[in-house]
């Protein structure tokens, strides 16, 4: 399980996902690379739980936050072995 708490920056998000999901060394630390790594490099199945999302949305900005959610939802739908538990 991957649990995200108190995310306030993209760097913090990338750090936590890298640490908990063991993203590969070639992970590019941008949103396109996040999609690619989650879609292709991380072994499943796994559950991603994200709490304090209002805090993250405020810190990241609505557009960036929405893009991250879209990436997570798309990858979960495409793979079928990822469960998302996003606390809005």
Q: Which domain holds residue 53?
A: 2-86
Q: Where are the alpha helices (DSSP H) in the chain?
A: 10-21, 31-40, 53-60, 62-79
Q: Which two tokens stand for residue 84?
A: 């998302």
Structure confidence by residue, pLDDT tens digits, 25-49? 889 999 999 999 999 999 999 999 9
Instruction: Give the number of C-alpha atoms closer than 13 A to the C-alpha of residue 69, restricted to the C-beta side.
Output: 17
Q: Which of 35, 44, 49 is nearest to 80 (CA)?
A: 44
Q: Which of 34, 44, 72, 69 is nearest to 26 (CA)?
A: 34
Domain of 60, CATH number, reads 3.30.370.10
Structure confidence by residue, pLDDT tens digits, 53-71? 999 999 999 999 999 999 9
Global pTM value:
0.93
Structure confidence by residue, pLDDT tens digits, 15-26? 999 999 999 988
Domain count, the chain: 1
Please give the Cα distance from 10 to 19 (Å, whole number).
Answer: 14
């Amino acid at each position: 399980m991957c649990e995200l708490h108190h995310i306030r920056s993209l760097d913090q998000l990338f750090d936590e996902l890298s640490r908990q999901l063991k993203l590969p060394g070639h992970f590019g630390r941008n949103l396109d690379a996040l999609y690619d790594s989650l879609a292709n490099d991380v072994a499943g199945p796994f559950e991603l739980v994200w709490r304090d999302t209002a805090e993250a949305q405020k810190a990241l900005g609505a557009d960036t936050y929405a893009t991250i959610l879209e990436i997570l939802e798309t990858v979960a739908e495409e793979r079928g072995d990822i469960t998302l538990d996003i606390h809005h």
